[in-house]
Amino acid sequence: MRTILSWNVNGIRAVVKNGFLAWLQVAQPDILCLQESRALPTDVGPEVLEPEGYVSYWNPAQKKGYAGTATFVKKGLEPKKVGTLGVPRFDDEGRLQVLEFDDFTILNGYWPNSQSKRARIDYKVDWCGEVTKFCNKKVKNGENLIICGDFNIAHHPIDLARPKDNENNAGYYIEEREAMTAFVGNGYVDTFRHLNPEAEEYSWWSYRTKARARNIGWRIDYHCVNEGFIDQIDRAYILGDVLGSDHCPVGIDVKD
């Protein structure tokens, strides 16, 4: 069994100060995909670049202190190839890492925030379309995909504590939900909802309202797979007790 975790850390340097490295050694995921790393590899020390037992791959944004993705892989399980989406306006923000392994390809993604008053909704919807096209091409070529990360979308009412109150808020705009529906309709499965159809669990809580203490949250972090790979997913779960960010890690266990 291989464990793949995904976590929007809201700044790698901040989460390191909050015990990230100690947590990693206890959790011991085979692969850990991070979003919103907000750092260049040169901004962190060797203990972060190569924690005991791991190698890391970084895809920072060109804008300093913004967005970015990074992936930590156990030594001995290194990917054959690491790439990006190949679309400059998204790659410039470090939005997607593509890591090709023998049995599957991981897409570690940080979906854009559409922002208040739909300021970036067009950028967000375009991103969703480009990622879908990219995934479709890879599946057509015979690859199995694990698409994980912070999607910044609560897909259905069950995926957030107060759906009615948030219909006109970023992350739950109808355009975003429709983009997620279109993605799933292209042959991809939300592993957590597939394996936990009734679960009301969340992966993000607003700092501003101390929402985590009251569990007024959103599930916006996902592991999706192509339909042909869903039988290889043994378990999908949310590690809601892990602190250090306004998000918590989410995980899947993949059969060998």
Supply the residues annotated as catalytic: 150
Our CA angle for 34, 38, 42, nearest 5°, is 100
Q: How far apart are CA 14 and CA 83, in angstroms?
A: 26
Q: What are phi and psi of 91, to 5 degrees?
A: -65, -30
> What stretches of the chain adopt beta strand conformation (E)?
2-8, 31-35, 54-59, 69-74, 81-83, 96-100, 105-110, 145-150, 188-190, 204-205, 217-218, 221-226, 233-238, 250-254
Q: What are phi and psi of 230, to 5 degrees?
A: -65, -30
Q: Is the dihedral of CA 10, 15, 21, 27 positive or negative?
A: negative
Q: How far apart are CA 252 and CA 213, in angstroms?
A: 25
- Residue 25 burial (CB count, 10 A): 12
Two structure tokens written together for 148: 């994980």
CA atoms within 13 A on the CB side of 132: 18
**Among 70, 221, 206, CA closest to 151:** 221
**Among 3, 32, 76, CA closest to 254:** 3
